[in-house]
Structure formats: structure tokens, C-alpha cells
């Protein structure tokens, strides 16, 4: 049986003194499959633990923070800042907002003892890039190896006072995420196909009494196969 979600391992260097994070924990278990990444924020700069401290690593990726939303109930949440020390005066911050229908499908890292470079690309060609690129320590995180486009679902990793030490992600095929979020449509449409009595209940008079979203839901489920396919393809 095909796995719905794929868990990418941690890329980087971490040890027992690092703090582990998993963005899945931001939502209750019942909603974790449906959560959608909507924004990524990255910090980059020189590590400075105190005023007298000299950095032993130079400039590094200091941390990451993400926004997610739950399309089931509209709830939006922001993770904690998974960051090292932010005391230096050369810190750069960049963000990437994911508009409706867009998602991250490529990830690149450069790391040795610390992560020094991150680049993320989206399906629609938007890019978040920050850090010092070094081809000798670049790692292309590959998860689009078949004919289906994959999307990053959530991030996990480790950080400590010296910055972001390791990063991984959960990813899945875009078509599977699309199916998860429209499963109620497919279930009810199937019911209407096998239960004529249920289908006949939904007269124009009854539909007219519903709210806007309920009307759209019922009318979509009642469409003939050819028209339903034409509409549903724009949800992918």
C-alpha cells in the first residue's frame, strides 16, 4: 500500500544539547494531516552569544519559523521561533508567503557543522534564498522523483544557541493532499450516486435555503461526471 506521507531525515549536525522541534505539533492530532504551510521565515547572520563572544562559526542560518493554516476549520497558527542567539547586528531576515495553490517543492541546503545556506522553490516559481552558498557542502533534498509533484507539508529539526543545526520535512504527493482536503466531496458525491432517494431530496427549493458554501458544496456534488471533472481539476 502506498504511504500517504513521506518523512525526510534530518540534514545537518545535532547532538543531545540541541532542542528538537516538530511543526506537526502545532495542531491537534486530528487536524495534522490537513495542515497547510502558508509562510516560512528564515534568519541568517553571525552567531554572538554575548557581547564579548567571538563567533566560532561565522555567518550561519540562525533559525526558522513557519505559519500554517487548517483548511478544515480556517484556524491559523504560527510556530515558535526555532532560533539560536539573535544578538549580532548583521542579521538578515527573509520570508516566503505561499499564496493559494502554491507550495514548496524544492529544497537545497549547505551544511557542515552548521547550516550556512537555505534555498526553497515553489511550484509557481517563487524563491526563498538566504545564506552563503558553497557547492562543496550543498545538499539537494530530492523528493520529486516520479511523475507526480510533491509538496512540503511541514518541517522538523534541531537548533541550539549556535543556530539551526538540522532540518527535515514531511512531504507528500500534491494529488494526495488534494484528495485529503476534498474527501467529504468525494464521499457525499458517491452517496448520491448509490442512493437515489438521497439524491432526490436535494431539490432546487431545498438548496435555495442553504448558505453560500453549502450551496456550492451540494451543486458540485450533483454535477454530471464530465462537468465535475472540469471543476475539480482546478482544485489540484
Domain ranges in the chain? 9-173, 182-235
Confidence of residue 159 (pLDDT cuts 50, 70, 90): very high
226: left (phi over 0), alpha (psi -120 to 50) or beta: alpha
**Cα(171)–Cα(148) distance, rounded to whole angstroms?**
12
pLDDT band at 202 (very low <50, low <70, confident <90, very high): confident
- For residue 122, give every residue at least 6 positions away whose Cβ sits within 8 Å of its Cβ, in sequence order, or none: 96, 98, 102, 103, 104, 105
Of 92, 87, 42, 49, nearest to 67 (Cα)? Answer: 42
Q: What is the mean pLDDT of residues 78-98?
A: 92
Distance CA(188)–CA(214), nearest Å, equals: 12
pLDDT of residue 145: 52
The mean pLDDT of 190-200, rounded to a whole number, is 83
Q: Using one digit for the tens of pLDDT, what is the confidence trace for 113-157?
A: 889 999 999 988 999 999 999 888 888 776 665 566 788 899 999
pLDDT at residue 98 in the model: 93
| Options 3.40.50.2300, 2.20.28.10, 2.100.10.30, 3.90.1150.10; CATH of 9-173 | 2.100.10.30
Q: Which of 119-128, 140-149, 168-177, 183-192 has the highest mean pLDDT?
A: 119-128
Assess contact for 10 and 111: CB atoms under 8 A.
no
Amino acid at each position: 500500500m502506498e504511504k500517504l506521507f513521506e518523512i525526510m531525515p534530518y540534514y545537518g549536525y545535532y547532538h543531545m544539547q540541541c532542542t528538537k522541534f516538530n511543526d506537526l505539533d502545532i495542531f491537534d492530532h486530528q487536524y495534522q494531516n490537513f495542515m497547510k504551510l502558508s509562510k516560512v521565515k528564515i534568519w541568517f547572520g553571525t552567531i554572538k552569544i554575548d557581547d564579548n563572544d567571538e563567533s566560532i562559526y561565522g555567518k550561519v542560518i540562525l533559525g526558522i519559523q513557519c505559519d500554517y493554516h487548517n483548511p478544515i476549520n480556517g484556524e491559523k497558527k504560527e510556530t515558535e521561533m526555532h532560533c539560536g542567539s539573535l544578538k549580532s547586528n548583521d542579521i538578515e531576515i527573509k520570508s516566503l508567503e505561499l499564496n493559494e495553490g502554491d507550495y514548496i517543492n524544492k529544497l537545497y541546503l549547505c551544511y557542515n557543522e552548521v547550516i550556512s545556506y537555505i534555498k526553497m522553490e515553489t511550484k509557481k516559481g517563487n524563491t526563498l534564498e538566504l545564506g552563503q552558498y558553497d557547492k562543496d557542502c550543498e545538499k539537494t533534498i530530492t523528493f520529486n522523483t516520479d511523475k507526480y509533484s510533491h509538496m512540503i507539508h511541514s518541517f522538523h529539526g534541531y537548533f541550539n544557541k549556535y543556530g539551526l543545526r538540522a532540518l527535515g520535512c514531511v512531504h507528500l504527493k500534491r494529488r494526495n493532499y488534494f484528495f485529503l482536503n476534498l474527501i467529504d466531496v468525494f464521499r457525499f458525491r458517491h452517496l448520491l450516486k448509490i442512493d437515489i432517494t438521497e439524491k432526490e431530496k436535494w431539490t432546487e427549493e431545498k438548496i435555495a435555503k442553504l448558505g453560500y458554501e453549502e450551496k456550492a458544496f451540494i451543486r458540485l456534488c450533483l454535477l454530471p461526471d464530465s462537468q465535475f471533472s472540469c471543476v475539480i481539476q482546478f482544485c489540484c
